Structure 1
Amino acid sequence: MAQYLNAASFLDLARAAQQRATERCSCTRTPLDGWQSQPLSLDETLLEEIGTLLLEDDLEPAYNEYLPGKTTYWATDAPIAPRYFPYNRCGVWQCSTCAHLYLRYVEAGGYFVDRRIRAVKAELIEDVPLPA
């Protein structure tokens, strides 16, 4: 399993990646600012898993979502709250060519499986505790 990243280490990683990231890469062809089904055009061989937001001993991560105001799951400005769904089930991946960071997880429900991906923007990361 990949190394667990708490919110602080995830934020540090995201800030560092944003400073190094370049815009010219095939991984940035499709805008991934909000959650999307992973595009078939994305070359997965460019992505390296560098961490996870999934706690190793958490057998069933919470399904609570953190969507303040009128934000939706699909919104490009929706906060990235590592303790909340779907972030608490995500791997953190980095493009080996341009250094962009992505979150990836598998949405499985009913009769389908959907591999989802979202670009990481450090300014959207919020360390919000789960409700008691």
Structure 2
Amino acid sequence: MAQYLNAATLLELARAAEARASAPCPCMKTPLDGWQSQPLSLDETQFGEIGTLSTEDYIEPTFSEYLPGKTTYWSVDAPIAPRYFPYNRCAVWECKLCGRLYLHYTEGGGYFVDRRIRAVKAGLVEDVPLES
């Protein structure tokens, strides 16, 4: 299993990635600021998995979402709260060309599978405890 990354570690990695990634890159061809179905044009070989936000517990992660204010799942300004869905099921990918970070997970429904991706923005990472 990939290395578990908590919110503090994700935030640290995101800040470092943003500091070094200033030039345009093919990974930015499609805006990925909010969740998107993974574009067919995205070359997965350009990325490496550097960790996971999934804990190693044997407990099923929550499907509760953390969406304060008027944010929705698809909002570009929705917080990235690693303990909440869908972040608690995400792999963290790094672009091998520019160092930008992306979250990746597979949404599974009754009749479909959708690979989704979202850019990590340090200003959106929040360490929010799960509500009981």
- Aligning the two structures, in what range does the TM-score lie when normalised by the shorter sequence? over 0.9
> With structure 1 as the length reference, what TM-score do the two structures score?
0.97
Give 1:56 shift: 1.3
- Per-residue CA deviation, residues 63-82 of structure 1 (Å, 9 max, x unaligned), is 01000011000000000000
Alignment-derived partner of residue 74 in structure 1: 74
Matched, 1:94 2:94: yes
- Let me know the Cα RMSD of the aligned residues: 0.8
Equivalent residue pairs, number: 132
Cα distance in 1, alignment partners of residues 11 and 75 from structure 2? 20
Alignment-derived partner of residue 27 in structure 1: 27
4+ long deviations beyond 2 Å:
none
Cα distance in 2, alignment partners of residues 7 and 48 from structure 1? 19
Alignment-derived partner of residue 51 in structure 1: 51
Structure 1 portions without partners, runs of 5+: none
Give 1:58 shift: 3.7
Cα distance in 2, alignment partners of residues 58 and 93 from structure 1? 23
Cα distance in 2, alignment partners of residues 78 and 67 from structure 1? 6
Alignment-derived partner of residue 63 in structure 2: 63
Alignment-derived partner of residue 123 in structure 1: 123
Q: Report the identity percentage.
A: 73
Structure 2 portions without partners, runs of 5+: none
Alignment-derived partner of residue 41 in structure 2: 41
